[in-house]
Structure 1
Amino acid sequence: MPLWIPITIAAAFFQNLRSGLQKRLRGSMGTTGATFVRFGFGLPFALIYLFAVVTIGGEPMPALNAAMIVAAVCGGLLQIGATFLLVYLFGLRNFMVGTAYSKTEPVQAALFGFLILGETVSPLALLAVVAGVVGVVLISLGNGTSRNLVNGLASRAALIGIASGALFGASAVGFRAAALALPEGSAALRAALTLVVALTIQTAAMLAWMAAKDRAELSRVARAWAPGLIVGLAGAGASAGWFTAMTLQKVAYVRALGQIELVFTFATSVFWFREKVRPLELLGSAVIVLAILALLSGM
């Protein structure tokens, strides 16, 4: 089994955990603060991870270059925008609809990967990517949001979700471009260094914004330091996995396999919270699993 596959699955698991923790933070601070927590509290853990990779691997630190920094800046700023929109969706009544549309990211990532990096995917893999998105929509239908999904693009949450997915897709391509721009180093080392550079840029940008526009939010973030560290740890774990997987494999494939996050969410709902299973939710989860299997077999 290629290494990027288990790494992607682990990243999806940690992302599911981070999203749940981040949603809870939304009640104690605003959208900007809840967005910042992912980056600011994740940076210390990313630095520890980079130190561990360098120490264990015994490799020299790759030299930064202009192409890498520009790609990391673009990816970092796009990810801030994507995260802000997704956290904003947490406050909307029809959260599942917006989240489902944000999961159109793999399709959009495939497009951006082609436009920016010239990367192509096989017809079967593209079909699997689209099928995974269909599975997400079916899960949302099963959550009683069919009326909003039928209205689709007329829904405010859908528009925000699609925009969030587009920014996530473009940011992922930016991060892959940044890691590939490094002249040397293993995939783990290049991914770890890219992660630290991106989080440093994101933390500095958001701190500057809050200091200039919303200092009260800085106070709310400081008061929530304990849960913020947990979010940061989960977020850093997810990002380390995504960055490493995207250094090893095309973004479209990684993000398509990453749709397994919705299966984790569904399983948590059923086996942990003992919530009622709806037929469309079960069908949607099955479609996502089948899409992932088709993706892997078509590579």
Structure 2
Amino acid sequence: MPVWILITVTAAFLQNIRSVLQKHLKSVMGTTGATFVRFGFGLPFAALFVVLLHFGVGDPLPPLQASFFGWVAIAAVAQIIAQALLIQLFSHRNFAVGTAYSRTEPAQAAIFGLLFLSDAVSGATVLAIAISLIGVMLISVARTAVSPASLVTSVFTRSAGIGLASGTFFGIAAVGYRAASLSLGAPNFVMQAAFTLLVGIGLQTGLMLAWMLWRDPGELARIRAAWKISLAVGLVGASASFGWFMAMTLQTAAVVKALAQVEMIFTFASTVLIFREHINKLEILGCLLIVAGIVVLLLV
């Protein structure tokens, strides 16, 4: 079994744990704070990964390219926006459905891969995008009277808009981080991923800290009060991102994110067992269609 598959499944499991913890944080702090803890509390762990690889394993630091910083900046900002949108979405719908909206990310990553990295888009990729879009529409109307008209107009609802936008920015971030890691070229995929993570998460921490100091300094007090859970979010978040970056250095972003839909299994388990939330049949069908669309993308 290719190593990128094992890394991706592990990262998906860790990401679900991070999302569960962030949903709890949303009840004690704002969207900005719940988004920040993923980066600010993950930074020490990202630095630790690089230190262990450099001084423990003996991997040299990668040679830097100008393009590396450009791609990291684009990816870092896109990921901040995507994460904030996803956390905001949790306030509109239940945990599993909120997560499912962003699952159009791999299909969108395929489009951005074509635009920015010249990755080919096949007919099967187009089919995958269509299947996922139908899934999003079903979720949007799952708690309303379903009709052909409502299926068409569902993608223009507030929840659908936030979810699709989250998927768009996640797709941009995935392609950007892959491009950044590949631009390093050496010494190996593990150090390339770790170094990309450190620079990216460092930039994100600085940007979000400056934003909170300017717009909402009171959020810092709420973050300090929830430091224990925030630290856990930082650990699993940084570890999951490390996994994504390693996998995307070895494989295209769209394919990695397609396999990552295994997270939906973990998400449904969290929804039922932890949050005790109800999911109706149309919501389940919509989620399954999104996953099916991504599976088609994986088989391309």
Q: Which residue does 1:231 correspond to in 2?
A: 233
Q: Which residue does 2:215 correspond to in 1?
A: 213
Q: Give the C-alpha shift of residue 123 in structure 1.
A: 3.6
Partner residue of 1:165 out of 167, 180, 202: 167
- Please tell me whether the aligned partners of residues 107 and 294 of structure 2 are also in contact (alpha carbons under 8 angstroms): no
Deviations 1:234-267 (A, max 9, x none): 1111111111111111111111111221122123
- Please tell me whether the aligned partners of residues 35 and 87 of structure 1 are also in contact (alpha carbons under 8 angstroms): yes
Q: Give the C-alpha shift of residue 146 in structure 1.
A: 6.9
When residues 63 and 104 of structure 1 are mapped into structure 2, their CA distance, relative to the original with a 3 A threshold, is same
- Please tell me whether the aligned partners of residues 43 and 202 of structure 2 are also in contact (alpha carbons under 8 angstroms): yes
| Separation in 2, partners of 1:149, 1:38 | 35
Structure 1 segment 63-78 matched on structure 2, within 5 A: 63-78=63-78
Q: Which residue does 1:27 correspond to in 2?
A: 27
| Separation in 2, partners of 1:71, 1:292 | 25
Q: Which residue does 2:254 correspond to in 1?
A: 252
When residues 57 and 287 of structure 1 are mapped into structure 2, their CA distance, relative to the original with a 3 A threshold, is farther
Query: Higher mean Cα deviation, 63-72 or 86-95?
Result: 86-95
Gaps in structure 2 of 5+ consecutive residues: none
Query: Higher mean Cα deviation, 2-11 or 269-278?
Result: 269-278
When residues 149 and 214 of structure 1 are mapped into structure 2, their CA distance, relative to the original with a 3 A threshold, is farther
| Separation in 2, partners of 1:136, 1:257 | 19
Deviations 1:200-243 (A, max 9, x none): 00001111111122111112112211110011111111111111
When residues 222 and 82 of structure 1 are mapped into structure 2, their CA distance, relative to the original with a 3 A threshold, is same
Q: Work out the percentage of aligned pairs sharing the same amino acid.
A: 51
When residues 289 and 83 of structure 1 are mapped into structure 2, their CA distance, relative to the original with a 3 A threshold, is closer
Q: Which residue does 2:42 correspond to in 1?
A: 42
When residues 63 and 15 of structure 1 are mapped into structure 2, their CA distance, relative to the original with a 3 A threshold, is same
| Separation in 2, partners of 1:131, 1:5 | 23
- Please tell me whether the aligned partners of residues 97 and 149 of structure 1 are also in contact (alpha carbons under 8 angstroms): no
Q: Which residue does 2:60 correspond to in 1?
A: 60
TM-score relative to the length of structure 1: 0.87
Q: Give the C-alpha shift of residue 161 in structure 1.
A: 1.3
| Separation in 1, partners of 2:213, 2:283 | 43
When residues 150 and 261 of structure 1 are mapped into structure 2, their CA distance, relative to the original with a 3 A threshold, is farther
- Please tell me whether the aligned partners of residues 18 and 236 of structure 2 are also in contact (alpha carbons under 8 angstroms): yes
Q: Which residue does 2:184 correspond to in 1?
A: 182
When residues 183 and 204 of structure 1 are mapped into structure 2, their CA distance, relative to the original with a 3 A threshold, is same
Q: Which amino acid aligns with 2:105?
A: E
- Please tell me whether the aligned partners of residues 85 and 164 of structure 1 are also in contact (alpha carbons under 8 angstroms): yes
Q: Give the C-alpha shift of residue 100 in structure 1.
A: 3.3
Q: Which residue does 2:196 correspond to in 1?
A: 194
**Matched residue pairs, number?**
297
TM-score relative to the length of structure 2: 0.87
1:101 to 2:89 alignment: no
Deviations 1:102-155 (A, max 9, x none): 2211111111111011112444455456545655666x4796467586641331
Q: Give the C-alpha shift of residue 273 in structure 1.
A: 6.6
Q: Which residue does 1:112 correspond to in 2?
A: 112
Gaps in structure 1 of 5+ consecutive residues: none
- Please tell me whether the aligned partners of residues 137 and 152 of structure 2 are also in contact (alpha carbons under 8 angstroms): no
State the superposition RMSD in angstroms: 2.8
- Match of 1:259, SS? helix
Q: Give the C-alpha shift of residue 296 in structure 1.
A: 4.8
Partner residue of 1:267 out of 269, 275, 284: 269
- Match of 1:104, SS? helix
Q: Which amino acid aligns with 1:42?
A: G
